[in-house]
Amino acid sequence: MDFSVDFNKNLQELRDKLDDLNADAMLVSMNNFFGNFDLDHSVIAEISGFTGSNGRAIVSRNRAILSVDGRYTKQAAEQTDNAIWEIKMYPEYDTNALVSDVLKPRQTLAVGAFSITYKSYLSLLEAARKSKFDVKILDKFPLFEPATSSKTIYLIDNDRKSRISCMRNTLSNGEALLLTDSAMIGWTFGVRCEPNADKCVLPNCVALITHDRKPMLFSDLKPENQCEDFKFSDISKFEEIMKDLPKSEIVLDYSRTNLYFPEVLQRNGFLIKSSKTDYGMFEAIKSEAEVQNMKVACEKASLAFIKTLAFAENAKQTSEIEIADFFENELKKYDDFVSLSFNSISAFGLNTSIVHYNPHTHGNAEVANDGLFLFDAGAHFKTATTDMTRTIYRGAPGYGTKKFYTSVLKSVILFSSARFPDKSKACSIDAVARYFVWQSGNDYKFGTGHGVGSFANVHEHPRISSSSNEEITTNMVITVEPGIYRDDFGIRLENMLLTKPAEMPGFIEFETLNFIPFSRKLIDVEMLSDAERDWLNGYHQKVFDKFANCLREDDVTFNWLKENTRKL
């Protein structure tokens, strides 16, 4: 993010455009394209300064409201001008309620065709009917042009023929499928691109799959090579190509499809139909090869993580960015390393209380004194992606800090040790990870975990949250990341887990994939049960056995490993 940007000037320019648009307010999303946000080109960042990955804004001539989820309320308040911006937490204040509060009857709300999903648009129309305001669709955002890229799309090895057939099998006769979710397209077609500013390796694409024609992939990026299994087309020709195709019923996911596409399809004589299949869950179930690749990647990332934590705890003086760079440089020693999977959250002291803190956009703090240090980082390797978090302490922690840390640790252990019926709802196991956090008098205002892609999105299905009805089954790779966040500190611990059959028929259990010690000095042993101590001692023994030999000549890291895996 360029801190020379005059956010208030951009906001005023946007307000000045309202007259030209014959609108009284505008709904602004994170970006202006299909699915992947790019923080370097976030419209909300340009008008407010907020650099988080999820948000929506309503701008009128006299009000500016930024709605963010629970991860970002503190960050949004700190990054925006509080005299101008009202910060609301989503979904407590949902978008339609905020819009209805801003607009009076017979006023007009402008929305970008590329910046709202069709599901959200239909919901917005219902809110407009009730509150008696109008909705005007804009073909493009009036202030900033969509980002252009010189990147190319390249292909990775995957069973694309089988996966395309899998998509076709969801269709009835006469139906076609429009896929708009970049993760699902990446899974189906095996397409990737160079990482963007937010480290995403999935290109923005739209795919049309029919029963009897070669699938078409639309994008603004150029293919490195053509593929015999599908045809590349330029996204700018989407409407032109669709006009010439036989009219049919096209199935699409209303919640993952921007308004532009159903508008074009209906304008050109196609019938659209909401998909009954949750296509996002296809990517969640890993093949045996993907599982093995994830295990190898987790081992590599864990070793880099251990070295980074040892450096962070023992360095006399360093900085948040220097620690993040240390981790990335360790990963670069692997031939199959591609990039970080997201911008590392390297936070010290007060900064740990900001859930998605970024030292590059918040300000790089010096790490020289005693205090909590939280590190959340991941890697893209050529066949897998990782995401892990640890919180450590420089110096000697107090009793209160140890109590909170141990409550989070107990939550990780309870979740990781759980057995549950196959195809349990994600919302039911979300509560398991919150139990000991709740007992400490705390809660976290977001999900417990998420799926992790196979060299794809670091966040994918399934979502482990109190509102998720997605079913959890075998061969899924998910995270568990409970935390406690106060105004002056934050503690989060995150492991990657593989779901696998339990010994009891019809039940599932977890296998922990990463190998990173928990902070020995932060554990209040008296708070642990015998079973929890046994689990932790067993886990730490595995960590020590895996890495001790390769670290013996690195005194700082080996001693840190030995101390933090010491038996309780």
Same domain for 484 and 508: yes
Q: Does residue 488 sit in helix, strand or coil?
A: coil
Confidence grade of residue 476 (pLDDT, cut at 50, 70, 90) = very high
Q: Is residue 145 part of a domain?
A: no
| Domain-ending residue, one of 83, 110, 138 | 138
For residue 238, the model assigns a pLDDT of: 95
**CB under 8 Å to 193, separation ≥6 — which residues?**
151, 152, 153, 154, 201, 202, 203, 221
Spell 374-397 as b/e; 16+ CB within 10 A means b: bbbbbbbbebbbbbbbbbbbbeeb
Cα→Cα distances 281→181, 249, 277, 400, 554, Å: 12, 23, 9, 41, 43
| pLDDT mean over 73-80 | 93
If you count them, how many residues does the chain have? Answer: 568
β-bridge mates for residue 312, sequence order: none
Same domain for 313 and 268: no
Q: Identify the weakest region by mean pLDDT among 48-62, 64-78, 144-158, 410-424.
A: 144-158
Spell 270-290 as b/e; 16+ CB within 10 A means b: bebeebeeebbbbbbbbeeeb
Half-sphere exposure of 501 (CA within 13 A, CB side): 4
Same domain for 13 and 134: yes
**Residue from 461, 539, 441 nearest 495 by CA:** 539
CA distance 380 to 391: 22
Phi, psi of 357, deg, nearest 5: -65, 140
Q: Identify the weakest region by mean pLDDT among 37-41, 462-466, 525-529.
A: 37-41
CA distance 303 to 543: 10
pLDDT tens, residue by residue, 536-567: 999 999 999 999 999 999 999 999 999 999 99
pLDDT tens, residue by residue, 372-418: 999 999 999 999 999 999 999 999 999 999 999 999 999 999 999 99
The share of the chain scoring above pLDDT 90, in percent, equals 86
Phi-psi category of 455—alpha, beta or left, where left has phi over 0 and alpha has psi -120 to 50?
left
| pLDDT mean over 415-433 | 97
Q: Is residue 146 part of a domain?
A: no
Cα→Cα distances 75→174, 199, 435, Å: 49, 21, 26
For residue 289, the model assigns a pLDDT of: 96
Residue 388: CATH number of its domain:
3.90.230.10
Same domain for 292 and 270: no
Q: Is residue 516 part of a domain?
A: yes
Looking at residue 117, what DSSP letter applies? B
Return the higher-pLDDT residue of 201 and 53: 201
CA distance 124 to 103: 12
| Domain-ending residue, one of 218, 245, 277 | 277
Same domain for 468 and 419: yes
For residue 540, the model assigns a pLDDT of: 98
Half-sphere exposure of 474 (CA within 13 A, CB side): 9
Count of domains for the chain: 3
Q: Is residue 472 part of a domain?
A: yes
What separation, in Å, do the N-terminal and C-terminal C-alpha atoms of the chain show?
45
The average confidence (pLDDT) of the chain is 94
Q: Is residue 317 part of a domain?
A: yes
pLDDT tens, residue by residue, 283-329: 999 999 999 999 999 999 999 999 999 999 999 999 999 999 999 99
Same domain for 175 and 113: no
Q: Domain range for residue 175? A: 152-277
Burial class (CB in 10 A: 0-12, 13-18, 19+), 169: exposed
Cα→Cα distances 406→189, 349, 375, 434, 485, Å: 44, 18, 17, 13, 14
Q: Is residue 562 part of a domain?
A: no
Confidence grade of residue 4 (pLDDT, cut at 50, 70, 90) = low
Q: Is residue 250 part of a domain?
A: yes
CA distance 232 to 227: 8
Would you state the structure tokens that stand for residue 521, as one six-digit string?
Answer: 């000095």
For residue 220, the model assigns a pLDDT of: 87
| pLDDT mean over 263-280 | 94
Cis amide leading into 462 (omega within 30)? yes
| Domain-ending residue, one of 248, 277, 306 | 277
Same domain for 473 and 343: yes
Same domain for 92 and 225: no
- The answer to whether the CB of 328 falls within 8 A of the CB of 340 is yes
CA distance 397 to 220: 52
For residue 31, the model assigns a pLDDT of: 62
- Sequential DSSP letters for 404-436: HHHHHHHHHHHHHH--EETTEEHHHHHHHHHHH
Q: Is residue 526 part of a domain?
A: yes
**Is the confidence at residue 123, as pLDDT, over 90?**
yes
**Is the confidence at residue 3, as pLDDT, over 70?**
no
CA angle 548, 453, 56 (to 5 degrees): 120
Pairing mode, strands 134-138 and 471-472: unpaired
Which residue is it, tokens 């990463």?
A: 514
For residue 342, the model assigns a pLDDT of: 96
Same domain for 20 and 124: yes
pTM for the predicted model, two decimal places: 0.92
Same domain for 269 and 381: no
- Please count the other Cβ atoms lying within 10 Å of the Cβ belonging to residue 405: 25
Residue 52: CATH number of its domain:
3.40.350.10
Confidence grade of residue 139 (pLDDT, cut at 50, 70, 90) = confident
Same domain for 370 and 318: yes
Q: Which amino acid is at 368?
A: A
**CB under 8 Å to 181, separation ≥6 — which residues?**
35, 253, 256, 279, 280
Same domain for 302 and 249: no
Cα→Cα distances 233→207, 240, 495, Å: 10, 11, 40
